[in-house]
Amino acid sequence: MLAHMQVTAQNCTGGSFGDPVTGSEDFGSGSNPGAALSTEQSNLTYQPDCNISDTEYTILNSVIGCHTEGWHNVLQDNTPDDVNGYMMVINATDRTDVSGTFYYKKISGLCPNTTYSFSAYILNLIRLDVDGPNAKHPDLTFSIELPGETLSTSTGKIGPTAKPEFHLYPTTPFCFTTGNNTTEVVLKITNNAPGGVGNDLILDDISFRAVGSPTTVRFSTTTDTRQEICAGESTSYQLNATVTDAAYQNYQWQVNRGTGWQDISAADNATANSKVFSLSINNAVAGTYKYRVGVAQAGNLASVNCRIYSEPLTITVNPLPVANAVDNIEFCEGETITVTATGGVRYEWNGPGLPANAPALNIPNATPANSGIYTVTAVSDKGCPSIPKSVTVKVNPKVTATIAAIQPICESDN
C-alpha cells in the first residue's frame, strides 16, 4: 500500500447524499433483449435470452419462464418507475481470480477530497422452495481500485427468498474519500461462490454518490416539510438550508416539477445560491413541486458529481373543483325551492332570500320575489373553491280562478 493513500475507506451513516454520479449503471431501458456490455465490462459470455448457463449473462427488462425448475419470475427491474428498465441477469461460476471478475467499470469525473458511497442491488434468482443443501448462494466481492490500493467489501452469502426481492448491498454503507488528485476509480465485482445449481443472480442500479454531513432545509414558518395551496393562488415562502459541514458552503437550489431536478438560476432569484431562498408563486398551476438544496465544496458546485443534497420540501398546488348544477329551473309559488349541486365536499350558495354563503339552496314557501340568479361555489376536501356556477330560478305566481254567475233556466231550455 502506498505510504500516502489516495483513498481511504470507512462506513458512513446519517449523512446527506448526492444523486448517482455520471457513470453509475442502471443498464438503460428498452425492449428485450438489451445489448451486450462491452468486453471491457464483463468477461462472461452474452446470450440474447435468459436460458443461460454457467459463465453466461444477458440484459433483460423481465425474467419470465426461464429455468422454470428453480428461478423466480421477475417482472421488472429494481426501479418500478423505470419503464422497461434493464438489469444484468447472471449465471455465475467459480472464477475468483482477477481475470475472472465478471463486472468492471471505470468511474470518472469524481471530485478530489470528496467522500463517495458505493452500493448495488442484487436479487438471488433461486426460489426458496427449491433451495437445498446443494444449492449455491451468490457471494460477491466489490472492489474499488486506485493504483497502489484496493478497497473491498463482500456481500457474504445471499440467501434465497420466497418471492423475487432486490436487496441493497453492501448492507452497511461503504464509503471512501478521494485524495487531492483523485478523479477516477475502478469498480470490480467478483463472484466467490462455486458454479453448479444456484449462484444465479440479477445485478442492477450500481451507484456511486457523493456523501457528506447532514444538510437540511425547512420552511421559515413551520417545521412541516409539506405545504398546500390552491390553484390560482399567489404566495411566497422562505426556504432555509442548514449545512453542518463547514467545507460545504456553496449552494444551489433546485426544483422538481415532475420531470426531474433542475437548477434554479440565480437570474430567476437572487438568493438561489445562498442558504436562504425566497420563493414567489404567482397564479399557481396545479401540481406537485419539490425544492431542495445542493451543496459542494469551494469550486466544485458546477459538477453534479460533487454535490450532496438535502431531502426535499414539497409544495402541493391542489386543483380547483368544478361545481355542477342545473342552469335553469322553475317552481310554483308556495313550493320549496331546492337545487342540488355536485363537485365538492361542501357548497356555498348566494342569491335572493339566502344568507351569505348558505350551505344549501332550500327555500320553503317560495314567492316570485325569490326568482333570480343564484350562484354556487363547490369547495374541495383541500378547501379549494371552484369558479362560481350560476343557476337561474323562476318562481311562477299562483293562478286566480274565477267562475261566472249561474243564470236560472227552465226545464227543456237550451
Average model confidence (pLDDT) for the chain?
89
Compute the Cα dihedral for 10, 13, 14, 19 and give only its sign: positive
Q: What local confidence, expressed as pLDDT, does residue 98 receive?
A: 44
Beta bridge partners of 342: 324
Q: What local confidence, expressed as pLDDT, does residue 4 receive?
A: 31
Rounded Cα–Cα distance for residues 72 and 84 (Å) = 18
Q: What local confidence, expressed as pLDDT, does residue 7 receive?
A: 43
Q: Residues 158, 122: contact at Cβ < 8 Å? A: yes
Helix (H, G, I), strand (E, B), or coil: what is residue 129?
A: helix
Q: What local confidence, expressed as pLDDT, does residue 181 receive?
A: 86
Which residues lie closer than 8 Å to 282 by C-beta, 6 or more apart? 234
What's the whole-model pTM score? 0.81
Work out the average pLDDT over 58-69: 92
Cα 360–chain centre separation: 40
Rounded Cα–Cα distance for residues 69 and 256 (Å) = 45
**pLDDT-above-70 percentage for the chain:** 92
Per-residue pLDDT band for 365 (boundaries 50, 70, 90) equals: very high
Helix (H, G, I), strand (E, B), or coil: what is residue 128?
A: helix
Cα 74–chain centre separation: 22
Per-residue pLDDT band for 320 (boundaries 50, 70, 90) equals: very high
Say which residue, 218 or 131, is predicted with more confidence: 218
Angle, vertex CA 396, rays to CA 393 and CA 402, nearest 5: 175
Across the beta sheet with 103-107, the strand order is: 103-107, 185-191, 139-146, 149-157
pLDDT for residue 245 is more than 90: no
Q: Which three cell numbers stand for residue 332?
A: 310554483
Q: Which three cell numbers stand for residue 371?
A: 326568482
Per-residue pLDDT band for 11 (boundaries 50, 70, 90) equals: low
